[in-house]
Structure 1
Amino acid sequence: MARGKTIARRAFLIGSVTVAGGVAFGIWRHATPYDNPLLDDLPDGAAALTPYVRITGEAITLITPRADVGQGAVSVQAMLIAEELDVDPAQVATEFGPPDRAYWNTALSEEAVPFRATDRGWLAETARDVMDAPMKFLGMQITGGSTTVPDGYEKLRRAGAVARETLKATAARLHGVERAALRTEGGAVILPDGTRLSYESLAAEAAHTEPVTDVRLRDPDEWRLVGTPVQRLDIVAKSTGTQDYGIDEDQPGMLHAAIRLNPGHGGALRGYDAAGAGGMRGVTRIVELPGGVGIIADNTWRAMRAAEAIACDWAPAPYPAGMDGHWQTLADSFTPDRQDSRLRDEGDVAAALAEGADVEVEYRAPYLAHAPLEPLNATVRYTAERTDIWTGTQVPRFVQGNAAAITGQDAGDVHVHVRVAGGSFGHRLEDTVVQHATRLAMAVPGTPVKLTYAREQDMGQEYPRQIAMARGRGRVSGGRVTAYDLGIAMPSILTSQMGRQAIPTPGPDLQIVAGAWDQPFAVPDYRVTGYRAPELAPVSSWRSVGASTNGFFHDCLLDELIHAAGADPLEERLRLCHHAPSRAVLAAVGEMSGWGGSMGPGEGRGVAFCLSFGVPCAQVVEVRDTGDGIRITRVWVAADVGRIVDPVNFEAQMQGGVVWGLGHAMHGALTYTEGAVEQRNFDTFRSMRLHECPEIVVRGLETAAKVRGIGEPPVPPAAPALANAIFAATGTRLREMPFDRRVSFAG
């Protein structure tokens, strides 16, 4: 065994190793780290260490293990490594890397403990550190929760620094100079006489250099990339139509597949008659699947047509057939025996409301589809020896484990090749499509099978955003909000989602109250209660998860109380807010929008705030009531993420989150009739259209103590800001989404 490989097996902390004649570098932060996945199946004389930088004699490759679903994850991860490695992101290649415990997400624990994000005390921080242990034990290689930047901010920069300093040490040894006398630039080590030694030329020798683990990360004033406007690595490919996605996978000899599943999601297949499909042109196999049937054919269109021709006898859906039953289940859940949590209970709410409430209201938020443009797909090749899977996914280890369970193979014999995904919004946190594709591939061993969901199947088999209901009461006195009581009922998102992965979720589901219980306001009598409704339609994470509904519930109740008190909506929020970064973003949107200025007839502005995923975000929405309906004219949005890694992508994520939140609040709903989803394509599941989109002005603040992500925080304040603006313009309170059930929007 090569010396490099011996070192890697023994230490695996930080270092350098050869990989097929090259060298890999990285960082590992725990005392007993996992083996490096780059060591697997290496030839004699090769070695591998941590999985973030690989250099061969021909190329520099950065491993960016967080999935890219359109949010720019590859670029931001590459930028963090490249900052310290001293390479131009344009001169390197990137890979997602294999599924492996080594890539567990170190930032997931932030949302997994019952402490407010604003609580940085010893107990809260200790709980977060302790919670990281099960995340590591389970190998939670997950992209989600706006964690890509927090997870990689230091880890990936340190990986680049270790690689850089080890390459310098290699050059110093080879040329008899002190490492301190060397510098790096543009992917090369520079000798004192100006000679440039490319990283690639040093790779093989670097495998025999003891890794330099005592590295200093550069100060922000030394940065070349982080914090500056840069072009995303995928912008040219996506602008020219040359970006390959999972749906573009093309393996030699590949067959194609489609499915027909019970429209009552989770319901069984009692029986089927495929006589009309079996003889159709191109059809090669019909395979029974859990809850439905799969068709293998020589192209996707023929497979989909054959699926439509199968006559199926479906069992009923395992949830109420119509929406009245879903809403009634939520209404019946506001009882002590369904109480899941009461993490916010300050003062004496019962006494404050004993003589009645000044405001008492109910809010509703519907199921919502993820509906990314690229429908779900997976390509699988199965043999008795190994299984290969090509797909866009946020959960590669779940994909690997579930496929192994189906094939009966060891997980190490299932090879997942992660692809860029054409959108997700949480959709690709599920892997049912891969499980179906694996079963279909097993019917034709050795032949790759690409399963593509028809749009109608994709949306009909949704694991949508949770349906939710809230009931709120409150009191006001002396022009101030004095009592606030909010109860929220919804099914458990975590129980539904993690249950499909056989991962237990003991204790309260914090997502039931996320974006509500943890808001930084000091109301004298203040209570937020979560009620766990029985499971209804299966649900999953949707962009901003629990806060996507709870931001609407919490802020709209606060706005109604402020109005009842006769106070200014922004000034009263500022008075109640006790968290400096949150006050700063509220003040910022006030200044940006010219809050308090005069408005014309039929015009109105609404302000809203939500702290989610550790990020305070405030928005002001301006609307005008036209003869054709409500038109959103401008939006101002501010957020504080501690450090903005990529200003261009930050602005894009903020604007995209606002559009996502507004569009679904205006038009979005997923409803069930006879157990089946009614909205099965974009013509019936509407979001914001281009002509409806307002000007969106963004400001990013950098005062918070921790570095955070921005993918989800702009979503929760959008709906309440719009509802509050419509009230200001028209006097109509909107307490149920989508809003177009009560008001019209200008076409």
Structure 2
Amino acid sequence: MGRLKTIARRTFLIGSAAVAGGVAFGIYAYRKPVENPLLADLPPGAATLNPYVLIDAEGVTLITPRADVGQGAVSIQTYLLAEELDVDPATIRTDFGPASGAYYNGKVAAEGMPLAAWDDGLVARTGRGAGDVIAKFLGLHLTGGSTTVPDSYDKLRAAGASARETLKEAAAQRLGVDRTALRTEDGAVIAPDGTRITYADLATEAATLDPVEAALRDPADWRWLGKPMRRTDIVAKSTGTFRYGGDLVFDGMLHATVVTNPVMGAGLTSMDTGAALAMRGVAAVLPVTDGFAVLADNTWRAMKAARAVVPVWGTATTHAATTDEMWQAHADAMTEANRDSRFADDGDVDAAPGTPLAADYRAPFLHHAPLEPANATVTYTAERTDIWTATQIPTFIRDAVAGITGQDADQVHLHNLASGGSFGHRLEDIWVRQTAEIAMQRPGTPIRMTWSREQDMAHGFLRPMALARGRGTVDAGQVRSFDLSIAAHSVGESQLGRQGLPAAGPDVAIVAAAWDAPYALPDRRVTGYRVPAGVGVSSWRSVGASHNGFFHESLMDELIHAAGADPVEERLRLIHHAPTRQVLETVADMASWDGPLGDGRGRGVAVTFAFGVPCAQVIEVSQTDAGLRLDRLWLAAEVGRVLDPVNIESQLSGGALFGLGHAIGAEITFADHRPEQSNFHDYDSLRLWQVPQVEVRALGTTGEIRGAGEPGLPAAAPALANAIFAATGTRLREMPFAKTMVFA
């Protein structure tokens, strides 16, 4: 194929084409022209009309703007496009694309609104639409809230369909035939006489055409979607050849590590660097905000030298010194002055009849602790700054670094990379900011900065600790009223504050999966209290639902037991949402809920509704001489249309096991204003021998498209706690459970 003609359009429309070296296609939700982000670095011979697909002499490249943190985001986006474009997913190259508001995520914006996903009324539908408009206006290019598939499902399929038909139109004009006489197959247009023209050969001509609108294929005709698929990254990850952000190497690169005050924000008073600078391979010790950086010829030497620096840390801080003081602050916050929300308030819980019950519950601070430590690579010059890192917030990082360097945003170029885990950690950017500070002190030199695990544990920002006070009444064998109050720091206030942005209105995360749990009681109330800002907090897998599932379903189980009712049957009586009822009925059938159990064994059930997905779990435990053993876990969820049964099962079971591990053994505690845990030796998780036998069923009975990365987590902890009560008679109201029970 010869050199492609350069075609550079400044804007793109629905169905229009894009990118480097050829032609590309995508959609734009509101048919309003916006700036094409690919023009900024358009190479010679490139055609760009829209941000999603590249067709050049080498084949097809998909721009996948949603971050891949191990959940298979790149793979599913590839299959969505390939299904309509008629290309083999194994032949498609992918790139995360530039940081740009053109890749805004409208689904994630709706998650922050007090709209129950089961509510299909006019107000709720209008509100979700407004969320999409807000996301577009703000240019929210981010990944989170299990929204990758819901956000990409229509966009990428429409992009592929439009691309396919536009390429066929280019072939039709070249051959002098009607487009309907042509078909496509594996990256080529096929004529009635068998003539085969590759997409690459048609790219220049297709780029000159108006994009062709195309109907999406019937799911009955899908080749890959809806069937078990092999993830596009599975071979590389299975053979150790996959490249993560921390694997990046450039000629002339210096390696760095950062150490900051273990008391967040208290700063550095002075330091003795003599011993560190005398060590082999050490290039410099430089200041960064709140601490220092060591530069060396490899990461190990940088980290070794960092331990030789003798710092004198500042002591000023605004947060409490100990965990006990923090719990007291949460209790003190449960006043009308700190009330943040009361989205659920039916009847009159204060006057509800029946026998009363009350209980308090606690969930500790948690760290994300992904296996790949936080890292970034930055090269700074006066004219341009380049950043290589794995992130879920590309535009926020671009703008933050521009603020540090004093450059315009279009002088800062973010190259997003795959992440070795996140669980919400890559929604932060402090390590990128630190790397930019270092790079400015070494212009022209690539700086790869890697946090030590200890630095990461002390400064990664945490899942909020949360305190809940529950009460209710039972009458005539039924649960009559339900009142749950939850106190926690605001994730939105903390995260947005670090970006210099205000957090307006109530924080839905404080009461998520509690206020919108689909239970119908005559008297029901859920209240959120915002604890004044203290330790920095962050989004953690399933955010507020991660602790609220435990609070809500533990209180519900206690009330059902007090009423003398069956935990499944009474929940079915109370749940008003048909899909939620169905997942509960399904999991009860999977677990043979009414089947016999021997002595020392117990089953517990919990059902949660998070990120639009009802999920029910039953866990079976048994008492052994070595402690409690988790025997079986059954999980049923309604994620809507199942696009990849294999990955859905992995995400749902992975979420549940992640939740169980943290519920059993993980917490971050504070003494002297700093975290006491420093690495995996004292921040435990589920061990391989503790993993129960897992059975997952994704119902797929609705036409909705939902994400599965987070909804499997919230029901795990309460299902386990309720199973332990059934087996031992002991109610667990505080995580981690290992504080109270011994686990085998």
Q: Taking structure 1 as the reference length, what is the TM-score of the superposition?
A: 0.97
Partner of 2:396: 398
Tell me the percent identity.
56
**1:449 corresponds to 2:450:** no
Q: Deviations over 1:115-135 (max 9, x none)?
A: 211111111111111122221
Deviation at 1:270?
A: 2.2
Q: Give, in whole Å, the separation in 1 of the partners of 2:4 and 2:500.
A: 41
Deviation at 1:3?
A: 13
Partner of 2:37: 37
Matches within 5 A, 1:63-142: 63-142=63-142
**1:234 corresponds to 2:236:** no
| SS class of match (2:79) | helix
Q: Deviations over 1:398-444 (max 9, x none)?
A: 11111111111111111111111000000010010000001111111
2:392 and 2:427 in contact (8 A); partners too:
yes
1:4 and 1:48 in contact (8 A); partners too:
no
Partner of 2:60: 60
Q: Give, in whole Å, the separation in 2 of the partners of 1:171 and 1:12.
A: 22
Q: Deviations over 1:190-232 (max 9, x none)?
A: 11112221111111221122211x2101111011111111100
Partner of 2:175: 175
For residue 564 of structure 1, the aligned residue among 551, 558, 562 is: 562
2:11 and 2:36 in contact (8 A); partners too:
no
1:3 and 1:208 in contact (8 A); partners too:
no
Task: State the AA in 1 paired with 2:250.
Answer: Q
Partner of 2:374: 376
Q: Give, in whole Å, the separation in 2 of the partners of 1:17 and 1:148.
A: 21
For residue 637 of structure 1, the aligned residue among 617, 635, 638 is: 635
1:15 and 1:166 in contact (8 A); partners too:
no
| SS class of match (1:344) | strand
1:669 and 1:685 in contact (8 A); partners too:
yes
Task: State the AA in 1 paired with 2:237.
Answer: K
Task: State the AA in 2 paired with 1:503.
Answer: L
Q: 1:406 to 1:202 in 2, by over 3 A?
A: same
Partner of 1:674: 672
Q: Deviations over 1:521-549 (max 9, x none)?
A: 11111000000011121000000000001
Q: Give, in whole Å, the separation in 2 of the partners of 1:471 and 1:510.
A: 18
**1:243 corresponds to 2:242:** yes
Which is worse superposed, 386-395 or 563-572?
386-395
Partner of 2:166: 166
Partner of 2:496: 498
2:11 and 2:49 in contact (8 A); partners too:
no
Partner of 1:431: 429
Q: Give, in whole Å, the separation in 1 of the partners of 2:367 and 2:441.
A: 31
Deviation at 1:312?
A: 1.6
Matches within 5 A, 1:19-418: 19-20=20-21, 22-42=22-42, 46-212=46-212, 214-316=213-315, 317-352=317-352, 358-418=356-416
Which is worse superposed, 274-283 or 445-454?
274-283
Task: State the AA in 2 paired with 1:556.
Answer: S
Q: Give, in whole Å, the separation in 2 of the partners of 1:459 and 1:11.
A: 43
1:342 and 1:530 in contact (8 A); partners too:
yes
Q: Give, in whole Å, the separation in 1 of the partners of 2:18 and 2:573.
A: 57
Which is worse superposed, 318-327 or 11-20?
11-20
| SS class of match (2:35) | coil
Deviation at 1:149?
A: 0.4
Q: Give, in whole Å, the separation in 2 of the partners of 1:552 and 1:483.
A: 18
Q: Deviations over 1:320-377 (max 9, x none)?
A: 1111111000011111111100000001111117xx8621100000000100000000
Q: 1:187 to 1:342 in 2, by over 3 A?
A: same
Q: Give, in whole Å, the separation in 1 of the partners of 2:50 and 2:364.
A: 44
Q: 1:43 to 1:58 in 2, by over 3 A?
A: closer
For residue 704 of structure 2, the aligned residue among 703, 706, 718 is: 706
Q: Give, in whole Å, the separation in 2 of the partners of 1:441 and 1:7.
A: 33
Q: Give, in whole Å, the separation in 1 of the partners of 2:560 and 2:43.
A: 69
Task: State the AA in 2 paired with 1:418.
Answer: N
Aligned residues: 741
**1:728 corresponds to 2:726:** yes
Partner of 2:522: 524
Q: Deviations over 1:664-697 (max 9, x none)?
A: 0000101111111111111100000000001110
Q: Give, in whole Å, the separation in 2 of the partners of 1:564 and 1:633.
A: 26
Q: Give, in whole Å, the separation in 1 of the partners of 2:116 and 2:281.
A: 57
| SS class of match (1:26) | coil
Q: Give, in whole Å, the separation in 2 of the partners of 1:44 and 1:628.
A: 68
Where does structure 2 lack aligned partners over 5 or more consecutive residues?
Answer: none
| SS class of match (2:681) | coil
| SS class of match (1:25) | coil
Which is worse superposed, 417-426 or 104-113?
104-113
Task: State the AA in 1 paired with 2:310.
Answer: A
1:4 and 1:18 in contact (8 A); partners too:
no
Q: Give, in whole Å, the separation in 2 of the partners of 1:33 and 1:130.
A: 19
2:146 and 2:709 in contact (8 A); partners too:
yes
Q: 1:435 to 1:241 in 2, by over 3 A?
A: same
| SS class of match (2:48) | coil
Q: Deviations over 1:706-747 (max 9, x none)?
A: 21100000000000000000000000000000000000000x
2:106 and 2:131 in contact (8 A); partners too:
no
Deviation at 1:57?
A: 1.8
Q: Deviations over 1:377-414 (max 9, x none)?
A: 00111111111111111111111111111111111111
Partner of 1:12: 13
Task: State the AA in 2 paired with 1:708.
Answer: R
Deviation at 1:45?
A: 6.4
Q: Give, in whole Å, the separation in 1 of the partners of 2:639 and 2:689.
A: 30
Deviation at 1:309?
A: 1.5
| SS class of match (1:656) | helix
**1:717 corresponds to 2:715:** yes
Which is worse superposed, 230-239 or 499-508?
499-508
| SS class of match (1:591) | helix
Which is worse superposed, 144-153 or 695-704?
695-704
Q: Give, in whole Å, the separation in 1 of the partners of 2:525 and 2:68.
A: 38
Q: Deviations over 1:67-115 (max 9, x none)?
A: 1110000001111111110111001111111111100112113312212
Q: Give, in whole Å, the separation in 2 of the partners of 1:726 and 1:647.
A: 31
Q: Give, in whole Å, the separation in 1 of the partners of 2:617 and 2:519.
A: 17
Where does structure 1 lack aligned partners over 5 or more consecutive residues?
Answer: none
Q: Give, in whole Å, the separation in 2 of the partners of 1:25 and 1:144.
A: 25
Q: 1:45 to 1:254 in 2, by over 3 A?
A: closer
Q: 1:366 to 1:357 in 2, by over 3 A?
A: farther
Q: Give, in whole Å, the separation in 1 of the partners of 2:623 and 2:529.
A: 37
Deviation at 1:46?
A: 4.0
Q: Give, in whole Å, the separation in 1 of the partners of 2:504 and 2:260.
A: 31
Which is worse superposed, 106-115 or 75-84?
106-115
2:361 and 2:734 in contact (8 A); partners too:
yes
Q: 1:374 to 1:528 in 2, by over 3 A?
A: same
Task: State the AA in 2 paired with 1:60.
Answer: V
**1:690 corresponds to 2:711:** no
Task: State the AA in 2 paired with 1:555.
Answer: E
Q: Give, in whole Å, the separation in 2 of the partners of 1:208 and 1:636.
A: 54
Q: Give, in whole Å, the separation in 1 of the partners of 2:153 and 2:41.
A: 30
| SS class of match (2:173) | helix
Deviation at 1:9?
A: 2.6
Task: State the AA in 2 paired with 1:27.
Answer: I
Deviation at 1:32?
A: 2.1
Q: Give, in whole Å, the separation in 2 of the partners of 1:140 and 1:637.
A: 33
Q: 1:258 to 1:248 in 2, by over 3 A?
A: same
Q: 1:7 to 1:69 in 2, by over 3 A?
A: closer
Q: Taking structure 2 as the reference length, what is the TM-score of the superposition?
A: 0.98
Matches within 5 A, 1:585-624: 585-624=583-622
